[in-house]
Chains A and B, each alone.
Chain A
Amino acid sequence: MKRVVGVFFIFCFVSLQAQEDIDSLIASWNRLSAEYLRINEIDSACKYGNCVIDIMDTRIQMDESRQVDPKLLALKEKKAEALSNLITAYGKSDRIDLAAECYEDALIIYSELEDSTAIFNLHIRVARVYDLRSSYQEAINYYNSALQLAIETNDKHGISLCYYYIGLNNRYLGNYSEALKNHLNDLRIEEELGNKVGIANAYITIAAILNTLNDRTAAIEKLIAARLLFEEMSDSSGIATVSNDLGKIHFAMGDTLAAIADHLHAADIRTTIGEFDGLGASYSYLASIEMLRGNHNGALTYLYQADDAFQKSANQNGVMSVQLEMATVYLDMMETEVAMIWLEKAQQTATEIMNYNGLIKIHSLRASVELKRGNQKRSIMCYQKAWNIALNQKNYIQLFTISSSLAAIYEDQKDYANAFRYQNTSMKYKDTLDHNANTTAALMLDMEYNYKKEKISNLLLQEKKDAINQAAMARQETQKQLFFGGVLMFLIITLGLWSRVRYIRKTNARLEIEKEKAEQSEQFKQRFLANMSHEIRTPMNAVLGMTNLTLDTKLTARQRKYLTAVKKSSKNLLVIINDILDLSKLEAGKMELEKIAFNLDEVIDQVCDTLRFKAEEKGLDFNAKIHDSIPRLMMGDPARINQILLNLCGNAIKFTEKGSVKIVVSWENEDQAQLIFEVQDTGIGIADEKIELLFNAFQQADASTTRKYGGSGLGLSISKTLVELMGGEIKVESQEGKGSVFSFTLACEPAHEEYRQSFQIQAPTDLHSLAGIRILLAEDNEYNRIVVKDTLDNLIENVSVTCAENGKEAIRMLEEKDFDLILMDITMPEMDGFEATIHIRNEMSAPKKDIPIIALTASVLNTAIQKCLDIGMNAYVPKPFRRDELMGTLIQFYQNKKPKLNQSIPSEEMPTEELKEVNGNNGSVTNLNFLTEFCNGDTKRLNKYINMYIQATPGNMKKIEKAILDMDYKALRLTVHSMKPQLIFMGMNDAKDVVVEIINNVDKEMDNTIIEPLVQELLVDCKHSIKELEATQKL
């Protein structure tokens, strides 16, 4: 820049020498003055400007006397140009009255010349001067004058420029609605003009305001629109600006990582294009994020980088704000002394460049430092300084903040008069702000400030009263007055106490209501979940089943193609539905894991079978390797392991275009046996910064992924939760473009010998053994009936399937004919599966009462399954059922039927036994872990408590039964409530939950149909618990 000025020097010198032309010399001086302004050499700019004016004034006088009009006008124009330069120069050197004089002189000349463009520029120039001094209101006034002029001359560029700056200044003042209005006007005109840069800039500012008004989604939309425009124009600087703004919004939304990524992106761009100003800003944002995260060192590093960048661009405003930030960071680190040094520096810079907003902040910060040091007087002084500047600048936001702080200090000093004064002032400014910016945030502040004001005026009143009391007591020292004083005090205290108690009561009542509401909505959610799983899975079962059956018939090629598509889509839909239901279950803490024996080979094979087709379709190698040393029979939840592997492998296949996907299972047997599952792929990989987002629900690495690759986006978050529930850990290593390795660990133990045996039985062996089986199918849904019947017909020789549409019909048919087994749907009209089973088990005579009953249920909630087993069903098969599963269960019960029939009371014996094999649940309702620990190994004590429970419970059960008979819900509530601690101590958590549910329903005055099943459930649990506990006593 200096070189440019030098060139001008030579240029004007040469022209003067060569032509002795005073006019070109003047022109050069004007340009020189303007150049000096650009490089901030204010004094030189003033000097040349004044020189021009001096010379011009003399010549104008000479010409005026000679009356040479045309030349006079040219001379005046030159003078006005010099005056304009001087306005900026004076403005920058804080000689604002001189600048104003220059403005008036120049305005007169330009008006004389009727040069509206020049007048417009003049207004803008003055406005910029005020703008730079952060005198936003003054700036707005001048921009408005310019706007009027531009509208008169229909200068669209001018109009949009004015709207833009008026909007900007209003925003600085906190007049958001006004600002938004102006920017929208700007946007309209820029669109008329088709000026992309203008449109993009308008979007950016509108986004900033929307962000302030907490409408973040709209803000992001606008920013993305701006980014598209900038990308069209390949304007890197613009893209960087958008990135910074996106970063700010992301940070405001709490997405710190995204915010950091955005700012770093912006910093990268700016480093490349050498835009140091913006670079400084990007680093400043990063610093403030780091500071808010508590990473002081990170913040300082970024601040030094920001400082460096601002120094390079000679942006003193930037340098000042960095210094201010430094001070803030050190203050946060409790390094007050260092902070003060930085504040000193910042103050120097701010004073030099007349940055009033900066000065306000600096003084306020100083004040808070002094306050922390306990120096209230100095703090007040600093606030006063900040206050004065803010008042001058009409900066209401700062005035409001400062007055609230001052009020707080005065209140602390017990100077209630001043505190009240400042509280009132702050209210006044808040009103102004409110009036200007009708934001929700301001409304929220409302309550707080009313409360504060009320508090202070109360304290003031109290103080006055105290003073009156004291004065009265001092004046009249008789016993009588003292007594009256005492009474007065007593009354005040009583009043205070009374209002306090009332307040507590009110809060209490409100809390109760809120809590009830929350509980209700929680219950509603759970019921909704249970209903959903049933309502969705049942029709899906029909769709899938019918499709499968149709596919087995003779079809044309086209029909087959269509039906295959239907099957595929329904399967996909089922996956998504299951994901959603699983997630809500996980979130409600309702996911229950099984612990059963399973074959590792089978689980892996199943995953491979399911996905092989998909992989082959894409031409990928898909294989699995299980290390030989691993025992194949393990204990755990195979369905969940399968689900996790399907998720991971499904993803791997989805995101791999060529190469391979591989499952590797290895075994770590150090302290605890651990299985390590790895899913390796050669796919697109994941960028480092996206890895952390990966496991969040509803978030894929990129939102566009969902559109491109499908899926609910919940898989990984479900997998993670499942792995953690099973006590493992899930990890991912990835290189963008090279592939990813997802791995998870599971604490698994090899299955015991007895499980190996039971396991063997379960595998469907020989369907011939089912030949001739007579099955009664109770199912209300016609489609499901067909699916089950046809499946059975197809698979089993000589099978006879009789259908019943509800429980009543099933009972009637069972009475009339002989069957080997019943498949029972749970939800049916007239009489449901539960009632029917209870009737069969309790009312019918042997051997019919002992017929194996297998529940067909779409409910996957373990409580529902448990209920099936509790009321005497033998097993359950979830819908939509898998053929193997149904057949396996049939074989098991058809073969086991005969020995079972010899037992007298299978309904009580079978559930506990069969559970082990079918469900893997060990079936016990009690859990003595707590009690054993509590008794510290003292078995005598343990047995004492257990015996107490065994003795007390039958009595309680009788009471409950009587209460139900008498419909005496008060007595019922009392009894079950008194049982709660005992149930807890015996580890009967399900029973305890039932008790809570009974109490809730009694309180809500629900009728018998709801309460009685719960009571029955409780009684069954109690009965079981006594049996179980008696068994421990015999040992």
Chain B
Amino acid sequence: MSLKEKLIFVIDDDEMLSLMLSDHLSQNPLHKVIRFGTGEEALRKLSQNPDVIILDYNLNSIEPNAADGMAILQQIKSLDKQACVIMLSSQEQYGTALQTIIKGALEYVVKDNDAFSRIDAIIASLN
């Protein structure tokens, strides 16, 4: 296991969830978490080469004109094929999940009480 610091991007317009997630992930001293409210912001910082990107599926509930998670995922993947993107959504539809996986997401996590432990497990498995 490497003891390298991990840079994690959390892209979510749900302020509370994004804060909870970043608080949770920051409990690990090796995690450096940066939060973004829109995908566009995150894309501009992609040059920092994040190890993990946690991306919300619906990014336009607050900013109606913001690009949605699917579009951001495609852009991230076109800029960096190797990027580890974990999709986050409150939609429990299998079809939605499958779409994101086809488009290159590593995993699809539903926003519920188990979301945090699942994300932990996924990040741990990346080592």
| Interface residue ranges, A against B (CB under 8 Å) | 501, 504, 508-509, 511-512, 515, 930, 934, 941, 944-945, 948-949, 952, 974-975, 977-978, 980-982, 984-985
B61 within 8 A of partner (CB): yes
Do most interface residues of chain A lie in helix, strand or loop, or is the interface mixed? helix
Known: A981-B90, A981-B111. A949 touches B95 (CB 8 A): no
- Tally inter-chain residue pairs, CB-CB below 8 A: 61
In the complex, which of the residues A504, A977, A984 has the most CB atoms of chain B within 10 Å of its own CB atom? A984
B14 within 8 A of partner (CB): yes
Q: Bound complex: CA of A948 vs CA of B16, how far in Å?
A: 7
Q: Bound complex: CA of A984 vs CA of B17, how far in Å?
A: 11
Could you list 7 further interchain pairs (A-B, Cβ under 8 angstroms) beyond the known A981-B14, A985-B16? A501-B102, A504-B102, A511-B94, A512-B93, A974-B61, A977-B61, A981-B112
Q: Which of A509, A511, A945, A978 contacts B61 (CB 8 A)?
A: A978
Contact with A along B72-102 (1 / 0, CB 8 A): 0000000000000000001001110011001
Interface hit among B19-27, B29-37, B45-53: B19-27
Task: Give the chain A neighbours of B14 by CB distance below 8 A.
Answer: 978, 981-982
Known: A504-B102, A977-B61, A981-B90. A511 touches B95 (CB 8 A): yes
Known: A930-B113, A934-B116. A982 touches B17 (CB 8 A): yes
Task: Give the chain B neighbours of A504 by CB distance below 8 A.
Answer: 98, 102
B38 within 8 A of partner (CB): no
Task: Give the chain A neighbours of B90 by CB distance below 8 A.
Answer: 977, 980-981
Q: Are B58 and A952 in contact (CB under 8 A)?
A: no
Known: A934-B24, A977-B61. A984 touches B112 (CB 8 A): yes
Q: Are B113 and A945 in contact (CB under 8 A)?
A: no
B41 within 8 A of partner (CB): no
**Chain A min CB distance to B99 (Å):** 8
Q: Are A981 and B24 in contact (CB under 8 A)?
A: no
**Chain B min CB distance to A280 (Å):** 52
Q: Bound complex: CA of A339 vs CA of B15, how far in Å?
A: 65
Q: Bound complex: CA of A641 vs CA of B62, how far in Å?
A: 50
Task: Give the chain A neighbours of B13 by CB distance below 8 A.
Answer: 978
Q: Which of B16, B61, B95, B111 contacts A975 (CB 8 A)?
A: B61
| Interface residue ranges, B against A (CB under 8 Å) | 13-17, 19-20, 23-24, 58, 60-62, 90, 93-95, 98-99, 102, 111-113, 116
Task: Give the chain B neighbours of A949 by CB distance below 8 A.
Answer: 16
Known: A930-B113, A981-B90. A508 touches B16 (CB 8 A): no
Q: Bound complex: CA of A980 vs CA of B111, how far in Å?
A: 8
Do most interface residues of chain B lie in helix, strand or loop, or is the interface mixed? helix
Q: Are A945 and B16 in contact (CB under 8 A)?
A: yes
Task: Give the chain B neighbours of A977 by CB distance below 8 A.
Answer: 58, 61, 90
In the complex, which of the residues B13, B14, B58, B62 has the most CB atoms of chain A within 10 Å of its own CB atom? B14
Task: Give the chain A neighbours of B94 by CB distance below 8 A.
Answer: 511-512, 515
Task: Give the chain A neighbours of B19 by CB distance below 8 A.
Answer: 944-945, 948
Smallest Cβ-Cβ distance to A929: which chain B residue? B113
**Chain B min CB distance to A950 (Å):** 11
**Chain B min CB distance to A880 (Å):** 40
Task: Give the chain B neighbours of A944 by CB distance below 8 A.
Answer: 19
Q: Bound complex: CA of A975 vs CA of B14, how far in Å?
A: 11
**Chain A min CB distance to B66 (Å):** 12
**Chain B min CB distance to A122 (Å):** 69
Task: Give the chain A neighbours of B116 by CB distance below 8 A.
Answer: 934
**Chain A min CB distance to B11 (Å):** 15
Task: Give the chain B neighbours of A941 by CB distance below 8 A.
Answer: 23
Task: Give the chain B neighbours of A508 by CB distance below 8 A.
Answer: 95, 98-99
Task: Give the chain A neighbours of B61 by CB distance below 8 A.
Answer: 974-975, 977-978
Smallest Cβ-Cβ distance to A956: which chain B residue? B61
Task: Give the chain A neighbours of B98 by CB distance below 8 A.
Answer: 504, 508, 511
Q: Bound complex: CA of A342 vs CA of B84, how far in Å?
A: 55
Q: Bound complex: CA of A930 vs CA of B24, how far in Å?
A: 14
Q: Bound complex: CA of A581 vs CA of B62, how far in Å?
A: 44
Known: A508-B98, A512-B93, A948-B15. A984 touches B20 (CB 8 A): no
Task: Give the chain B neighbours of A511 by CB distance below 8 A.
Answer: 94-95, 98
Q: Are A952 and B15 in contact (CB under 8 A)?
A: yes
In the complex, which of the residues B15, B61, B62, B99 has the most CB atoms of chain A within 10 Å of its own CB atom? B61
Q: Bound complex: CA of A984 vs CA of B116, how far in Å?
A: 13
In the complex, which of the residues B15, B58, B60, B90 has the most CB atoms of chain A within 10 Å of its own CB atom? B90
**Chain A min CB distance to B106 (Å):** 17
Task: Give the chain B neighbours of A981 by CB distance below 8 A.
Answer: 14, 16-17, 90, 111-112
**Chain B min CB distance to A629 (Å):** 41
In the complex, which of the residues B20, B95, B111 has the most CB atoms of chain A within 10 Å of its own CB atom? B20
Q: Which of A509, A930, A952 contacts B16 (CB 8 A)?
A: A952
